Protein backbone atom coordinates (compact mmCIF):
# COMPACT_ATOMS: atom_id res chain seq x y z
CA UNK A 1 0.00 0.00 0.00
CA UNK A 2 2.23 2.79 -1.30
CA UNK A 3 1.43 6.43 -0.69
CA UNK A 4 0.80 8.17 -4.00
CA UNK A 5 -0.56 11.56 -2.93
CA UNK A 6 -1.42 13.69 0.10
CA UNK A 7 -4.04 16.42 -0.24
CA UNK A 8 -5.61 18.88 2.15
CA UNK A 9 -8.80 20.87 2.63
CA UNK A 10 -9.83 23.31 5.35
CA UNK A 11 -13.42 23.64 6.53
CA UNK A 12 -14.36 26.97 8.07
CA UNK A 13 -16.47 26.01 11.07
CA UNK A 14 -16.22 27.15 14.69
CA UNK A 15 -12.50 26.52 14.10
CA UNK A 16 -10.53 25.64 10.99
CA UNK A 17 -10.96 21.92 10.53
CA UNK A 18 -7.91 20.83 8.53
CA UNK A 19 -8.52 17.55 6.72
CA UNK A 20 -5.74 15.40 5.28
CA UNK A 21 -6.46 12.90 2.52
CA UNK A 22 -3.91 10.17 1.82
CA UNK A 23 -4.25 8.44 -1.54
CA UNK A 24 -2.57 5.09 -2.13
CA UNK A 25 -1.60 3.08 -5.19
CA UNK A 26 -4.27 0.53 -4.27
CA UNK A 27 -6.99 3.16 -4.60
CA UNK A 28 -7.54 3.17 -0.86
CA UNK A 29 -8.11 6.63 0.56
CA UNK A 30 -7.57 7.59 4.19
CA UNK A 31 -8.83 10.68 5.98
CA UNK A 32 -7.31 12.37 9.00
CA UNK A 33 -7.67 15.69 10.76
CA UNK A 34 -5.21 18.10 12.36
CA UNK A 35 -5.74 20.60 15.16
CA UNK A 36 -5.71 24.04 13.52
CA UNK A 37 -2.67 26.30 13.24
CA UNK A 38 -1.85 29.26 11.01
CA UNK A 39 -0.05 28.06 7.87
CA UNK A 40 -0.76 24.42 8.68
CA UNK A 41 -1.51 23.12 5.19
CA UNK A 42 1.78 24.57 3.94
CA UNK A 43 3.59 22.39 6.50
CA UNK A 44 1.65 19.30 5.44
CA UNK A 45 2.53 19.88 1.80
CA UNK A 46 6.20 20.45 2.72
CA UNK A 47 6.26 17.09 4.54
CA UNK A 48 4.72 15.29 1.56
CA UNK A 49 7.96 14.44 -0.33
CA UNK A 50 9.06 12.35 2.69
CA UNK A 51 6.04 10.09 2.22
CA UNK A 52 5.40 9.67 -1.48
CA UNK A 53 6.24 6.11 -2.55
CA UNK A 54 6.58 4.89 1.06
CA UNK A 55 4.63 1.90 2.35
CA UNK A 56 1.67 3.54 4.14
CA UNK A 57 1.51 0.68 6.63
CA UNK A 58 4.85 1.61 8.26
CA UNK A 59 3.07 4.27 10.26
CA UNK A 60 5.30 4.57 13.32
CA UNK A 61 8.43 4.79 11.16
CA UNK A 62 6.87 7.44 8.89
CA UNK A 63 5.70 9.37 11.94
CA UNK A 64 9.22 9.38 13.33
CA UNK A 65 10.66 10.30 9.94
CA UNK A 66 8.42 13.40 9.85
CA UNK A 67 9.25 14.29 13.46
CA UNK A 68 12.96 14.06 12.76
CA UNK A 69 12.48 16.26 9.68
CA UNK A 70 10.79 18.87 11.89
CA UNK A 71 13.16 18.47 14.83
CA UNK A 72 14.76 21.86 14.42
CA UNK A 73 11.50 23.68 13.76
CA UNK A 74 9.54 22.60 16.78
CA UNK A 75 8.88 18.88 16.87
CA UNK A 76 8.37 19.02 20.67
CA UNK A 77 4.98 20.60 20.10
CA UNK A 78 2.95 22.88 17.86
CA UNK A 79 2.31 23.10 14.16
CA UNK A 80 4.73 20.38 12.99
CA UNK A 81 3.06 17.83 15.25
CA UNK A 82 -0.43 19.04 14.26
CA UNK A 83 0.50 18.33 10.64
CA UNK A 84 1.95 14.91 11.47
CA UNK A 85 -1.12 13.98 13.55
CA UNK A 86 -3.48 14.55 10.60
CA UNK A 87 -1.27 12.64 8.17
CA UNK A 88 -0.82 9.80 10.66
CA UNK A 89 -4.57 9.47 11.24
CA UNK A 90 -5.17 9.34 7.48
CA UNK A 91 -2.58 6.54 7.25
CA UNK A 92 -4.30 4.58 10.05
CA UNK A 93 -7.66 5.01 8.30
CA UNK A 94 -6.20 3.78 5.01
CA UNK A 95 -4.39 0.85 6.65
CA UNK A 96 -7.51 -0.29 8.55
CA UNK A 97 -9.50 -0.09 5.30
CA UNK A 98 -6.77 -2.11 3.57
CA UNK A 99 -7.19 -4.78 6.26
CA UNK A 100 -10.97 -4.27 6.18
CA UNK A 101 -11.17 -3.81 9.96
CA UNK A 102 -12.41 -0.96 12.15
CA UNK A 103 -9.58 1.25 13.40
CA UNK A 104 -9.95 0.18 17.05
CA UNK A 105 -8.78 -3.32 16.04
CA UNK A 106 -5.30 -1.92 15.28
CA UNK A 107 -4.89 -0.46 18.78
CA UNK A 108 -5.56 -3.60 20.81
CA UNK A 109 -9.30 -3.95 20.31
CA UNK A 110 -12.25 -2.45 22.13
CA UNK A 111 -12.90 -2.19 25.84
CA UNK A 112 -16.19 -0.60 24.76
CA UNK A 113 -17.83 0.32 21.48
CA UNK A 114 -20.18 2.88 22.98
CA UNK A 115 -18.08 6.00 23.51
CA UNK A 116 -19.27 8.57 26.04
CA UNK A 117 -19.22 12.10 24.66
CA UNK A 118 -19.27 15.29 26.71
CA UNK A 119 -20.50 18.56 25.25
CA UNK A 120 -18.62 21.82 25.40
CA UNK A 121 -21.26 24.51 25.94
CA UNK A 122 -21.47 28.26 25.93
CA UNK A 123 -24.07 30.42 27.63
CA UNK A 124 -26.14 30.76 24.49
CA UNK A 125 -26.80 29.03 21.20
CA UNK A 126 -25.39 30.20 17.89
CA UNK A 127 -22.09 29.54 16.17
CA UNK A 128 -19.05 31.26 17.63
CA UNK A 129 -16.23 31.03 15.09
CA UNK A 130 -12.54 31.71 15.65
CA UNK A 131 -9.77 32.07 13.08
CA UNK A 132 -6.50 30.15 13.24
CA UNK A 133 -5.14 32.90 15.50
CA UNK A 134 -8.25 32.76 17.68
CA UNK A 135 -9.86 36.03 16.63
CA UNK A 136 -13.64 36.13 16.08
CA UNK A 137 -14.68 35.89 12.43
CA UNK A 138 -17.75 35.57 10.29
CA UNK A 139 -17.36 32.49 8.09
CA UNK A 140 -17.91 33.49 4.46
CA UNK A 141 -20.62 30.86 3.96
CA UNK A 142 -22.55 32.51 6.78
CA UNK A 143 -22.64 35.83 4.98
CA UNK A 144 -23.78 33.96 1.87
CA UNK A 145 -26.64 32.38 3.79
CA UNK A 146 -27.64 35.67 5.44
CA UNK A 147 -26.84 34.34 8.90
CA UNK A 148 -24.49 37.16 9.81
CA UNK A 149 -27.19 39.17 11.51
CA UNK A 150 -26.40 39.45 15.18
CA UNK A 151 -23.30 37.33 14.65
CA UNK A 152 -21.13 39.38 16.92
CA UNK A 153 -23.86 39.57 19.49
CA UNK A 154 -24.15 35.79 19.41
CA UNK A 155 -20.39 35.34 19.50
CA UNK A 156 -19.74 37.61 22.41
CA UNK A 157 -22.74 36.38 24.34
CA UNK A 158 -21.44 32.87 23.77
CA UNK A 159 -18.13 33.83 25.32
CA UNK A 160 -19.64 35.95 28.08
CA UNK A 161 -19.13 39.26 26.29
CA UNK A 162 -16.20 41.59 25.93
CA UNK A 163 -14.97 43.29 29.06
CA UNK A 164 -16.17 46.71 27.92
CA UNK A 165 -19.55 45.21 27.08
CA UNK A 166 -19.72 43.18 30.24
CA UNK A 167 -21.28 45.69 32.57
CA UNK A 168 -24.48 43.72 32.95
CA UNK A 169 -24.50 40.81 35.39
CA UNK A 170 -23.84 37.46 33.72
CA UNK A 171 -27.11 35.89 32.59
CA UNK A 172 -27.35 32.86 34.86
CA UNK A 173 -30.68 31.94 33.32
CA UNK A 174 -29.01 31.60 29.89
CA UNK A 175 -26.43 29.19 31.34
CA UNK A 176 -29.13 27.18 33.09
CA UNK A 177 -31.31 26.94 29.98
CA UNK A 178 -28.37 25.97 27.82
CA UNK A 179 -27.33 23.24 30.25
CA UNK A 180 -30.88 21.88 30.36
CA UNK A 181 -31.13 21.81 26.56
CA UNK A 182 -27.84 19.95 26.23
CA UNK A 183 -28.96 17.46 28.87
CA UNK A 184 -32.17 16.95 26.86
CA UNK A 185 -29.98 16.11 23.84
CA UNK A 186 -28.83 13.10 25.87
CA UNK A 187 -25.41 14.24 27.09
CA UNK A 188 -24.41 13.02 30.54
CA UNK A 189 -21.49 15.43 30.90
CA UNK A 190 -21.10 19.14 30.06
CA UNK A 191 -18.30 21.66 30.13
CA UNK A 192 -18.54 25.43 30.50
CA UNK A 193 -15.90 28.16 30.36
CA UNK A 194 -14.83 29.49 33.75
CA UNK A 195 -12.86 32.40 32.32
CA UNK A 196 -15.90 34.59 31.81
CA UNK A 197 -15.15 38.20 30.85
CA UNK A 198 -16.95 40.27 33.44
CA UNK A 199 -17.36 43.70 34.91
CA UNK A 200 -15.35 42.80 38.03
CA UNK A 201 -12.14 42.01 36.15
CA UNK A 202 -9.50 44.49 37.35
CA UNK A 203 -6.67 43.56 34.99
CA UNK A 204 -6.72 41.61 31.77
CA UNK A 205 -3.20 40.23 32.13
CA UNK A 206 -2.25 39.64 35.76
CA UNK A 207 -4.15 36.32 36.12
CA UNK A 208 -5.61 37.37 39.46
CA UNK A 209 -9.25 36.68 40.22
CA UNK A 210 -11.11 39.25 42.25
CA UNK A 211 -13.29 37.86 45.06
CA UNK A 212 -16.38 39.06 43.14
CA UNK A 213 -15.21 37.22 40.02
CA UNK A 214 -14.79 34.01 42.00
CA UNK A 215 -18.33 34.45 43.33
CA UNK A 216 -19.63 35.08 39.83
CA UNK A 217 -18.03 31.95 38.36
CA UNK A 218 -19.30 29.91 41.32
CA UNK A 219 -22.81 31.30 40.73
CA UNK A 220 -22.64 30.13 37.08
CA UNK A 221 -21.61 26.64 38.21
CA UNK A 222 -24.37 26.63 40.83
CA UNK A 223 -26.97 27.67 38.23
CA UNK A 224 -25.82 24.91 35.86
CA UNK A 225 -25.80 22.30 38.65
CA UNK A 226 -29.34 23.28 39.71
CA UNK A 227 -30.49 23.12 36.08
CA UNK A 228 -29.17 19.64 35.32
CA UNK A 229 -29.48 17.96 38.72
CA UNK A 230 -27.04 15.43 40.07
CA UNK A 231 -27.15 12.89 37.24
CA UNK A 232 -25.09 15.01 34.82
CA UNK A 233 -21.37 15.63 35.22
CA UNK A 234 -20.11 19.21 34.95
CA UNK A 235 -16.58 20.34 34.15
CA UNK A 236 -15.24 23.89 33.89
CA UNK A 237 -12.39 25.17 31.73
CA UNK A 238 -10.06 28.01 32.81
CA UNK A 239 -8.01 28.17 29.56
CA UNK A 240 -4.75 28.66 31.48
CA UNK A 241 -5.88 32.09 32.67
CA UNK A 242 -5.22 32.13 36.40
CA UNK A 243 -2.44 32.34 38.96
CA UNK A 244 -2.13 29.31 41.26
CA UNK A 245 -3.57 31.23 44.21
CA UNK A 246 -6.58 32.46 42.21
CA UNK A 247 -7.18 29.00 40.76
CA UNK A 248 -7.12 27.44 44.23
CA UNK A 249 -9.64 29.99 45.53
CA UNK A 250 -11.84 29.28 42.52
CA UNK A 251 -11.59 25.51 43.06
CA UNK A 252 -12.61 25.94 46.71
CA UNK A 253 -15.57 28.12 45.71
CA UNK A 254 -16.93 25.63 43.16
CA UNK A 255 -16.20 22.54 45.26
CA UNK A 256 -19.76 22.32 46.70
CA UNK A 257 -21.15 21.74 43.19
CA UNK A 258 -19.41 18.41 42.72
CA UNK A 259 -17.45 19.01 39.52
CA UNK A 260 -16.01 16.28 37.33
CA UNK A 261 -12.93 18.43 36.81
CA UNK A 262 -11.45 21.90 36.64
CA UNK A 263 -9.43 22.25 33.44
CA UNK A 264 -6.21 24.10 32.65
CA UNK A 265 -6.11 26.43 35.67
CA UNK A 266 -2.62 27.87 35.08
CA UNK A 267 -0.41 28.62 32.03
CA UNK A 268 0.82 25.41 30.33
CA UNK A 269 4.49 26.43 30.51
CA UNK A 270 4.90 26.00 34.27
CA UNK A 271 4.44 22.57 35.78
CA UNK A 272 5.39 23.97 39.19
CA UNK A 273 2.47 26.43 39.05
CA UNK A 274 0.15 23.59 38.07
CA UNK A 275 1.50 21.43 40.90
CA UNK A 276 0.66 24.12 43.44
CA UNK A 277 -2.95 23.94 42.27
CA UNK A 278 -3.21 20.14 42.09
CA UNK A 279 -1.81 19.83 45.62
CA UNK A 280 -4.42 22.13 47.14
CA UNK A 281 -7.47 22.02 44.85
CA UNK A 282 -10.39 20.03 46.27
CA UNK A 283 -11.64 19.64 42.66
CA UNK A 284 -9.81 17.18 40.34
CA UNK A 285 -7.53 19.00 37.89
CA UNK A 286 -7.51 18.04 34.20
CA UNK A 287 -4.94 19.23 31.72
CA UNK A 288 -3.07 18.13 28.62
CA UNK A 289 -4.52 19.68 25.46
CA UNK A 290 -1.36 21.77 25.04
CA UNK A 291 1.01 18.86 25.60
CA UNK A 292 2.16 16.50 22.90
CA UNK A 293 4.40 13.69 23.98
CA UNK A 294 4.49 10.94 26.58
CA UNK A 295 7.54 12.65 28.10
CA UNK A 296 5.53 15.85 28.59
CA UNK A 297 2.64 13.85 30.08
CA UNK A 298 5.05 12.04 32.38
CA UNK A 299 6.02 15.45 33.78
CA UNK A 300 2.37 16.54 34.05
CA UNK A 301 1.50 13.38 35.98
CA UNK A 302 4.58 12.93 38.16
CA UNK A 303 5.56 16.54 38.83
CA UNK A 304 2.28 18.25 38.06
CA UNK A 305 0.13 15.79 39.94
CA UNK A 306 -2.83 16.03 37.54
CA UNK A 307 -5.86 13.85 38.24
CA UNK A 308 -7.20 13.62 34.67
CA UNK A 309 -5.17 13.56 31.45
CA UNK A 310 -6.72 15.44 28.52
CA UNK A 311 -4.57 14.93 25.40
CA UNK A 312 -5.84 16.10 22.02
CA UNK A 313 -5.29 13.31 19.50
CA UNK A 314 -5.34 15.79 16.60
CA UNK A 315 -2.19 17.21 18.19
CA UNK A 316 -0.46 14.13 19.64
CA UNK A 317 -1.42 11.75 16.84
CA UNK A 318 -3.16 8.44 17.56
CA UNK A 319 -0.10 6.32 18.35
CA UNK A 320 1.43 8.78 20.80
CA UNK A 321 -2.10 9.33 22.16
CA UNK A 322 -2.37 5.62 22.92
CA UNK A 323 1.07 5.68 24.58
CA UNK A 324 0.02 8.71 26.68
CA UNK A 325 -3.14 6.86 27.70
CA UNK A 326 -1.05 3.81 28.66
CA UNK A 327 1.23 6.05 30.72
CA UNK A 328 -1.79 7.57 32.48
CA UNK A 329 -3.13 4.08 33.12
CA UNK A 330 0.19 3.17 34.76
CA UNK A 331 -0.62 5.86 37.33
CA UNK A 332 -4.34 4.92 37.44
CA UNK A 333 -5.33 8.25 35.94
CA UNK A 334 -8.38 8.55 33.68
CA UNK A 335 -8.14 10.03 30.18
CA UNK A 336 -10.70 12.54 28.88
CA UNK A 337 -9.45 13.58 25.43
CA UNK A 338 -9.84 17.16 24.26
CA UNK A 339 -11.50 17.42 20.84
CA UNK A 340 -12.70 20.31 18.69
CA UNK A 341 -12.82 18.37 15.45
CA UNK A 342 -15.14 17.66 12.57
CA UNK A 343 -16.59 14.14 12.40
CA UNK A 344 -13.28 12.94 10.88
CA UNK A 345 -11.12 13.76 13.91
CA UNK A 346 -13.93 12.90 16.30
CA UNK A 347 -14.42 9.41 14.85
CA UNK A 348 -10.67 8.75 14.84
CA UNK A 349 -10.55 9.83 18.51
CA UNK A 350 -13.61 7.72 19.34
CA UNK A 351 -11.91 4.61 17.92
CA UNK A 352 -8.83 5.24 20.05
CA UNK A 353 -11.02 5.86 23.12
CA UNK A 354 -12.56 2.42 22.57
CA UNK A 355 -9.11 0.89 23.17
CA UNK A 356 -8.25 2.87 26.33
CA UNK A 357 -9.28 1.07 29.54
CA UNK A 358 -8.99 4.28 31.60
CA UNK A 359 -11.12 6.33 29.18
CA UNK A 360 -13.56 8.76 30.85
CA UNK A 361 -15.29 10.87 28.17
CA UNK A 362 -14.45 12.43 24.79
CA UNK A 363 -15.17 16.09 24.09
CA UNK A 364 -17.53 17.30 21.36
CA UNK A 365 -17.13 20.99 20.59
CA UNK A 366 -19.44 21.16 17.58
CA UNK A 367 -22.99 21.20 18.91
CA UNK A 368 -23.53 24.69 17.45
CA UNK A 369 -22.08 23.87 14.02
CA UNK A 370 -25.17 23.37 11.85
CA UNK A 371 -23.41 21.09 9.33
CA UNK A 372 -21.33 18.94 11.68
CA UNK A 373 -23.28 15.74 11.02
CA UNK A 374 -23.65 16.56 7.32
CA UNK A 375 -19.89 16.17 6.82
CA UNK A 376 -19.99 12.40 7.39
CA UNK A 377 -20.84 9.87 4.70
CA UNK A 378 -21.50 6.17 5.15
CA UNK A 379 -23.15 6.38 8.56
CA UNK A 380 -26.80 5.74 9.31
CA UNK A 381 -28.39 8.59 11.27
CA UNK A 382 -26.55 10.96 13.58
CA UNK A 383 -23.01 10.03 14.63
CA UNK A 384 -23.59 11.31 18.14
CA UNK A 385 -26.80 9.88 19.49
CA UNK A 386 -27.97 10.53 23.05
CA UNK A 387 -24.50 11.64 24.06
CA UNK A 388 -22.68 8.57 22.74
CA UNK A 389 -20.93 7.40 19.56
CA UNK A 390 -21.63 3.74 18.92
CA UNK A 391 -18.79 2.27 16.86
CA UNK A 392 -19.77 -0.13 14.10
CA UNK A 393 -17.82 -3.38 13.81
CA UNK A 394 -18.80 -3.60 10.14
CA UNK A 395 -17.32 -0.26 9.06
CA UNK A 396 -13.59 -0.31 8.29
CA UNK A 397 -11.17 2.49 9.18
CA UNK A 398 -12.60 5.38 11.16
CA UNK A 399 -16.05 4.26 10.05
CA UNK A 400 -17.00 7.26 7.91
CA UNK A 401 -15.91 9.02 4.75
CA UNK A 402 -15.79 12.78 4.40
CA UNK A 403 -18.77 14.18 2.50
CA UNK A 404 -16.55 16.24 0.23
CA UNK A 405 -19.44 18.03 -1.46
CA UNK A 406 -20.72 19.24 1.91
CA UNK A 407 -17.19 20.13 3.02
CA UNK A 408 -16.72 22.15 -0.17
CA UNK A 409 -19.74 24.30 0.67
CA UNK A 410 -18.08 25.33 3.95
CA UNK A 411 -14.45 25.32 2.80
CA UNK A 412 -11.92 28.04 3.50
CA UNK A 413 -11.72 29.73 0.15
CA UNK A 414 -8.07 30.75 0.45
CA UNK A 415 -6.96 27.14 0.99
CA UNK A 416 -6.60 24.22 -1.42
CA UNK A 417 -9.61 21.91 -1.46
CA UNK A 418 -7.99 18.54 -2.18
CA UNK A 419 -7.32 18.43 -5.93
CA UNK A 420 -10.29 20.57 -6.94
CA UNK A 421 -9.74 23.92 -8.57
CA UNK A 422 -11.11 26.51 -6.15
Residues of this chain that interact with Mg ion (CB under 5 A) are: 237, 263
Nearer to Mg ion by Cβ, of 51 and 179: the residue is 179
Minimum distance from residue 117 beta carbon to Mg ion (Å): 15
Spatial separation of the C-alpha atoms in residues 61 and 73, rounded to whole Å = 19
Looking at beta carbons only, is 195 or 237 nearer to Mg ion? 237
C-beta closer to Mg ion: residue 237 or 320: 237
Min dist. Cβ of residue 290 to Mg ion (A): 9
Cβ partners under 8 Å of residue 13, min gap 6: 127, 129, 139, 342, 366, 369, 371, 372, 410
- Of 263 and 368, nearer to Mg ion (C-beta) is 263
Nearer to Mg ion, 304 or 399 (CB): 304
Q: Least CB distance from residue 237 to Mg ion, whole Å? A: 4
Residue whose CB is less far from Mg ion, 16 or 237: 237
Nearer to Mg ion, 10 or 235 (CB): 235
Cα separation of 40 and 9, whole Å? Answer: 11
Report, in Å, the least distance between residue 251 CB and Mg ion.
16
Cβ at position 418, least distance to Mg ion in Å:
30
**Closest CB 193 distance from Mg ion, rounded Å:** 9
Q: How far is the CB of 113 from Mg ion (least distance, A)?
A: 26
The residue with its CB nearest to Mg ion is 237
Give the number of other Cβ atoms within 10 Å of residue 185's Cβ.
Answer: 12
* Contacts with 146 (C-beta within 8 Å, 6 or more apart), sequence order: none
Amino acid sequence: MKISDIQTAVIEANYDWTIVKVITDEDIIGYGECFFAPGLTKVIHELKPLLIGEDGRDIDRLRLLMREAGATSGAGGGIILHAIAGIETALWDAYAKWLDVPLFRLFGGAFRKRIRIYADCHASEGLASLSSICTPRIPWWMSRSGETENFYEIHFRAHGGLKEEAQEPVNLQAYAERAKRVKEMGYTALKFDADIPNAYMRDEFNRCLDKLEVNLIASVVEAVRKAVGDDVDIAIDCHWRFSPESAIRLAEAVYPFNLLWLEDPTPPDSIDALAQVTRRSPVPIATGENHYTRQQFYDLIVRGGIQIAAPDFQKTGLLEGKRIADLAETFVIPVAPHNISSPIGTMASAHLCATIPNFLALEHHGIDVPFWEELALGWDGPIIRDGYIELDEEKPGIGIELNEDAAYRYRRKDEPFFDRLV
